[in-house]
Homo-oligomer: A and B are copies of this chain.
């Protein structure tokens, strides 16, 4: 399993993924699921990949090769806009699955899903979920985030908090809370966490972090969240049979 989450707010894009891949409970490895393609000042892209690792590595190798091949029929480098880029990724994904499928043992799931975010020139930022079938959906102001993998544990916090006007850093904190919920609840989602922020107009990766379970920031983050959440529960309305709360000191 995997958990990937990406957010598009007015201020830019946030992407986060765990790094655990597993073929079985006794075959667990660490691989990054976050790939970035930067052409500073021109265009910037980030991809989160979930699903069959053979398929995703195949797609990513193809994408990198196409981008480095002058005159390639299609590539992230040459796409005129993000929709064209998403279509290209969909085709690359389907072809990688078909290629593997020819030789596949029965019952092996070769499907993969990509979350794709980026910005080209003066165009708007964009965020897309590319399905194994090669089609895609885009994030919208009503639902400014996309997820793949073990998505349920970490969804309520995104629903509650994210709005287009949420700051980029608050969106990133929200992504980390969401990721931490999935990590706590599903053994097959595991640290370290990869996190990327792309500020609207930067046309490059604004920040990229890797947070291990014991990294001081992530430890402090988790402890603070526990404290804040307990305070939030205590701040909820009393039941009618409880004594009314004293108003906070002025």
Q: Which residues of A contact B (CB under 8 A)?
A: 152-157, 159-161, 169-170, 172-174, 176-177, 181, 184-185, 207, 209, 217, 220-221, 224-226, 228-242
Contacts and interface: CB of A to CB of B under 8 A. Distances in A.
B225 A152 contact: no
Contact of A152 (B185, B221, B228, B234): B185
A242 B169 contact: yes
Nearest to A241: B207
Given A155-B185, A185-B159, A226-B160, A217 B235 contact: no
Nearest to A163: B230
Most buried by B among A225, A230, A233, A240: A233
A26 to B, nearest CB: 24
B225 A236 contact: yes
A209 B229 CA distance: 25
A230 B161 contact: yes
Contact of A169 (B207, B209, B224, B239): B239
Given A207-B241, A240-B217, A233 B156 contact: no
Contact of A161 (B154, B229, B235): B229
Contacts of A170: 233-234
